[in-house]
């Protein structure tokens, strides 16, 4: 019989293999059981595909430059702040709560595996799911929005800035999945009903432009906004109270977000250590 001391003394290689084994198992479950986020992921694809279909009939007068600016707004306000945010909230907050509702969490807890390793494995699985669906959906959406231009579309993609911009949008979407995934994994471990916490995170992310520069750094959107290849400036009366700050360059924004995500993921793994199985709640 393997006791707790033996589990703690296992080498790093064993922990890595266990985490990857959990990731493989949870990855299959994520696509088989949790499909509601597919509707969210399909929203920007449907919007951009619909735009191309309608524009191809000649009812709209548009240009590639205009379409790329429109996509920048779609990416900032639909994909980042809605699709990826709520998609990651739905996926990661149920990483442990889903097993609790299905009364299967104790099977993991009976195995000779550290809780931190279990949390890391679940994060890897659902992160892979989010990257495939949301980052892939962002890339597909960018590709579709100018597809109705035909030869000009391929010229823009292959010889213009199309592939460059699509790569950056995909990277920003992937970083968003990494950051929000870590946050919502922690939220799911801390709160039995995570809805209020999710709402609080949403408010914090959306008031980011009006926060002092120091507080801005404790949000995911702060690091992502400056990475988008096409800027969407704030207009209207809200721009008057926006706290202006220089955009964070990519060589600082990307490591900054990864460090923030690593710290939050570390807290989540530590929180998993004290989690107890309770199916009666």
Q: Look at 164 and 17; give whichever has higher pLDDT.
A: 164
Closest residue by Cα to residue 182 from 256, 255, 260: 260
pLDDT of 178 higher than 80: yes
Mean pLDDT of 85-91: 91
* Weakest mean pLDDT among 109-113, 174-178, 257-261: 109-113
What is the pTM assigned to this prediction? 0.86
26 pLDDT band, cuts 50/70/90, is confident
33 pLDDT band, cuts 50/70/90, is low
- Report pLDDT for 244: 52
């Amino acid at each position: 019989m393997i006791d707790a001391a033996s589990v703690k003394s296992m080498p790093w290689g064993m922990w890595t293999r266990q985490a990857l084994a959990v990731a493989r198992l949870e990855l299959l479950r994520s696509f088989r059981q949790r499909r509601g986020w597919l509707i969210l992921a399909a929203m920007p694809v449907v919007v951009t595909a619909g735009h191309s279909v309608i524009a191809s009939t000649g009812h709209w007068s548009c240009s590639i430059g205009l379409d790329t600016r429109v996509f920048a707004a779609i990416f900032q306000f639909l994909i980042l702040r809605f699709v990826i945010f709520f998609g990651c909230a739905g996926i990661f907050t149920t990483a442990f709560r889903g097993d609790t509702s299905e009364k299967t969490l104790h099977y993991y807890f009976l195995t000779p595996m550290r809780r931190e390793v279990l949390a890391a494995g679940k994060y890897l699985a659902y992160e892979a799911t989010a990257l495939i669906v949301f980052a892939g959906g962002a890339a597909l959406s960018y590709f579709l929005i100018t597809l109705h231009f035909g030869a000009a579309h391929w010229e823009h993609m292959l010889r213009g800035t199309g592939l460059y911009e699509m790569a950056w949008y995909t990277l920003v979407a992937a970083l968003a999945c990494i950051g929000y995934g870590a946050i919502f994994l922690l939220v799911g471990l801390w709160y039995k009903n995570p809805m209020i916490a999710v709402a609080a995170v949403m408010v914090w992310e959306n008031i980011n432009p009006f926060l002092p520069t120091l507080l801005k750094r404790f949000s995911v959107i702060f690091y992502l906004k400056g990475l988008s290849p096409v800027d969407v400036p704030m207009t209207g009366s809200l721009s008057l109270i926006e706290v202006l700050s220089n955009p964070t360059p990519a060589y600082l924004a990307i490591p900054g977000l990864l460090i923030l995500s690593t710290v939050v993921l570390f807290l989540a793994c530590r929180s998993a250590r004290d989690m107890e199985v309770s199916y009666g709640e």
